[in-house]
């Protein structure tokens, strides 16, 4: 394998010395970029992008051509896994992802089995293709949704603003939800390990909806399964550690619990004070975050002030990967994203001179 | 004034001994009740309900006829205040509240002045009418939106899922947002004091959107103004203390800061562990919450288990007002709400026997 030219991101995840704070942006390849929209139009559909290793490679690399980002992340969707479990993923225009066969009755739930990896071959092919195209420029991040976040979509049948069905199941029939989560967990372990085999150099588990739970339910229905995933992952490839990042949006109250599951890094949304987070769990894990993605709607000078505040909050030394606290908005101005990346690189050097 | 027949709610807010844990539900008078929908149909519109003291009284009392709730809350809308400031509130069917004149340019913002209380007379008339109709049955809660939450609607022009405009203003032109917040604060102090004069026996400040901010921005743009409101309120009426409840949805990470602004009680959404919250701030304030409103979609037996868990989490003694962590869903089954109230009253007695 080619030697990495920029491994700042991997070093920061392991709290090894770095020269500056590395940055990548959740959803950095996406609709806010006109070149993405052009490729998406050529591909014909969102799933057309995801299932073609060529298109997935093209859009994964697009933000790196614009901005000196310190990592690339596989372009894919978190719902590829339940799709491979037979739920029938489709995207209704303007409505977000949906499943043809949501899990609503006990028979369907009991019949659920782990995803066949063969049906996800296109993802691993994309990882291999992107890794080759990167040619050692920056590390490649693989990812998956968390078992609970996947279950939300699988039970609701799509996005939801109240999680009515999955919460009814959680409280009334917890054993059914546990069966879904068990199948998801086995699927995600195999899915992420196959991404690592294909060339992913770090992996992130996105727990987008765990923050919608009570603390007690979060531990039982989301965190416990992420812990099993972390324990089941290959943690080394090409003789180098493959760091694991766990990110629960809205999980700031539970950092101690999250930091205890064995991941190398914990993601923070923008509501958490990063200095307090470091004091609470920084001895155990690296931290990723935590710029408010909607602060990108402000002027570049304001973006720079906010970057300075977060960098000062984390303070001196390694262990911080700069990122947004959630995916970049489709309405964000690419020039503002560029101002963010520039400010992080420029302002962070003073925190890494020892 | 008539003697209160049931003052359990007021005593719990002041951590005085009670026989059981009192309960009310945010949005307890609302669309999940068929009798509410019938009155709403007669009134012709949502604002028709709010602006008529007779209708407002009728719907405020409806949930008390069904359930032995320990408090009534004024039926109104948080956007009455910016409406009285001249922004032109209207409700587009199925779209939620909107403003005809959102605050988008500096001239309009600089021209903003506090609400004229005369334009809110219908609210104070409703408070007086409800208080009379209650006849001492349970205490009446008055309320207002927080200055920041009101500003979100005033700047966005309605609901928003990203708060793009208000966040751009917050980061790029903070002085403009501070002017809006200053006008809102002066308005809310006068508004809540007039509700207290009209008969409100406790007041709650709803900070629905403060949780969308970073910790630093929350303190500067939401909490600081709520602190000024708390300091500006009449805290006694009819020779009895008028307790103040402050509720920031998503504020669980900031409880210490919230508990320090002088309110009697801090509301918790369902993501916060109430036992941990009591350990953190329970010596300073009473706590209100924190049942997941969407757990009402589960069976009554499951609702009872969840009630038992929360009561045990708070533990022995007064200082807890049971509530939902957010408003009850329009799709909730009234029978499940009844099961909740029953379970709280039945299961909480053991925590109040000393």
The rounded distance, in Å, linking the Cα atoms of B236 and A91 is: 57
Active site (annotated) includes residue B40: yes
Active site (annotated) includes residue A55: no
How much is the pLDDT for B1? 60
Find chain A residues with C-beta within 8 A of B218's C-beta: 271
The secondary structure element, H or E, covering residue B286 is strand B286-291
Residue A164 has pLDDT above 80, yes or no: yes
- The values of phi and psi at residue A205, to 5°, are -100, 120
- Name the pTM for this structure: 0.96
Average pLDDT of the segment spanning B210-239 = 97
Residue B116 has pLDDT above 70, yes or no: yes
A163 vs B: CB within 8 A: yes
The rounded distance, in Å, linking the Cα atoms of B182 and B228 is: 10
How much is the pLDDT for A95? 79
Active-site choice (A7, A11, A20, A27) = A27
Query: In terms of Cα–Cα distance, which of A162, A287, A218 is closest to B295?
Result: A162
Tokens for B90? 């209207």
Start-to-end CA distance of chain B, whole Å, equals 32
Residue A279 CB: number of other CB atoms within 10 A? Answer: 11
Find chain A residues with C-beta within 8 A of B297's C-beta: 164-165, 167-168, 171
Residue position matching structure tokens 């709403």: B40
Average pLDDT of chain A is: 96
How much is the pLDDT for A1? 60
Active-site choice (B7, B11, B27, B278) = B27
Q: Is A326 annotated as a binding residue?
A: yes
The rounded distance, in Å, linking the Cα atoms of A93 and B42 is: 38
Nearest-CB residue to B253 (from A163, A252, A306): A252
Residue B268 has pLDDT above 90, yes or no: yes
Active site (annotated) includes residue A31: yes
- Dump pLDDT digits (tens) for B326-344: 999 999 999 999 999 999 9
Average pLDDT of the segment spanning B39-53 = 93
Tokens for A222? 């989301």
Residue A67 has pLDDT above 70, yes or no: yes
**Band of the pLDDT at B92, cuts 50, 70, 90?**
confident
Residue A93 has pLDDT above 90, yes or no: no
Find chain A residues with C-beta within 8 A of B207's C-beta: none
CATH of domain A8-352: 3.20.20.210
Q: Identify the DSSP state of B95.
A: T
How much is the pLDDT for B177? 98
Q: Is A153 annotated as a binding residue?
A: yes
**Band of the pLDDT at A354, cuts 50, 70, 90?**
low
B284 vs A: CB within 8 A: no
Start-to-end CA distance of chain A, whole Å, equals 32
Q: Where are the domains of chain A?
A: 8-352
Average pLDDT of the segment spanning B36-49 = 93
Contact A162 B329 (CB under 8 A): yes
A160 vs B: CB within 8 A: no
- With DSSP H G I counted as helix, E B as strand and the rest as coil, what are the percentages for chain B, rounded to 5? 55, 15, 35
**Band of the pLDDT at B218, cuts 50, 70, 90?**
very high
Find chain A residues with C-beta within 8 A of B327's C-beta: none
The share of chain B scoring above pLDDT 90, in percent, equals: 94
Q: Identify the DSSP state of A67.
A: S
Query: In terms of Cα–Cα distance, which of B144, B148, B141, B97 is closest to B251?
Result: B148
Question: B63: burial class by Cβ within 10 Å (0-12, 13-18, 19+)?
Answer: buried
Average pLDDT of the segment spanning A293-308 = 97
Nearest-CB residue to B294 (from A162, A211, A290): A162
Integer-rounded Cα radius of gyration of chain A: 19
What's the ipTM? 0.94
The rounded distance, in Å, linking the Cα atoms of B27 and B39 is: 16
Q: What is the 3-state secondary structure (H, E, C) of A176-213?
A: HHHHHHHHHHHHHHHHHHHHHHHCCCEEEEEECCHHHC
Residues 313-342 of chain A with CB under 8 A from chain B are 329, 331
Nearest-CB residue to B214 (from A171, A217, A270): A270
A120, A240, A310, B280, B294 from B325: Cα distances, Å: 40, 45, 30, 18, 9
Residues sharing a CB contact under 8 Å with residue B72, sequence separation 6 or more, in sequence order: B24, B60, B61, B64, B130, B134, B137, B138, B139, B140, B141
- Dump pLDDT digits (tens) for A110-146: 999 999 999 999 999 999 999 999 999 999 999 999 9
Average pLDDT of chain B is: 96
Contact A298 B168 (CB under 8 A): yes
Numbered residues of the known binding site of B for substrate: 27-31, 77, 153, 208, 326
- The values of phi and psi at residue A180, to 5°, are -60, -45
Find chain B residues with C-beta within 8 A of A295's C-beta: 167, 171
Query: In terms of Cα–Cα distance, which of A157, A153, A261, A262 is closest to A212?
Result: A153
How much is the pLDDT for B93? 75
């Amino acid at each position: 394998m080619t030697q990495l030219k920029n491994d700042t991101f991997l070093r920061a995840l392991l709290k090894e010395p770095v020269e500056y704070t590395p940055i990548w942006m959740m959803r950095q390849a996406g609709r806010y970029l006109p070149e993405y929209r052009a490729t998406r139009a050529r591909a014909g559909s969102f799933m057309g992008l995801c299932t073609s290793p060529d298109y997935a490679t093209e859009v994964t690399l697009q933000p790196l051509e614009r901005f000196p980002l310190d990592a690339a992340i596989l372009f894919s969707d978190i719902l590829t896994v339940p799709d491979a479990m037979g739920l029938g993923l489709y995207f209704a225009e303007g409505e977000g992802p949906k499943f043809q066969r949501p899990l609503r009755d006990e028979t369907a739930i009991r019949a659920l089995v782990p995803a066949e990896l063969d049906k996800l071959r296109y993802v691993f092919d994309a990882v291999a293709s992107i890794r080759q195209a990167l040619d050692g420029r920056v590390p490649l991040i693989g990812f998956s949704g968390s078992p609970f976040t996947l279950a939300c979509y699988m039970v609701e049948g799509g996005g939801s603003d109240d999680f009515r069905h999955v919460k009814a199941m959680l409280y009334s029939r917890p054993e059914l939800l546990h069966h879904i989560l068990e199948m998801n967990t086995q699927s995600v372990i195999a899915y992420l390990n196959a991404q690592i085999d294909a060339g992913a150099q770090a992996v992130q588990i996105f727990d987008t909806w765990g923050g919608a739970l009570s603390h007690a339910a979060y531990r039982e229905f989301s965190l416990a399964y992420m812990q099993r995933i972390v324990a089941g992952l290959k943690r080394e490839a090409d003789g180098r550690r493959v760091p694991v990042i766990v990110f629960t949006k809205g999980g700031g109250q539970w950092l101690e619990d999250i930091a205890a599951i064995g991941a190398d890094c914990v993601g923070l949304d923008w509501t958490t004070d990063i200095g307090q987070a470091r004091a609470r769990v920084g001895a155990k894990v690296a931290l990723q975050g935590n710029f408010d993605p909607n602060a990108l709607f402000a002027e570049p000078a304001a973006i720079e002030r906010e970057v300075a505040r977060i960098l000062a909050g984390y303070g001196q030394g390694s262990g911080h990967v700069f990122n947004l606290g959630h995916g970049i908005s489709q309405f964000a101005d690419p020039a503002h994203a560029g101002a963010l990346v520039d400010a992080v690189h420029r302002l962070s050097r003073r925190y890494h001179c020892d």
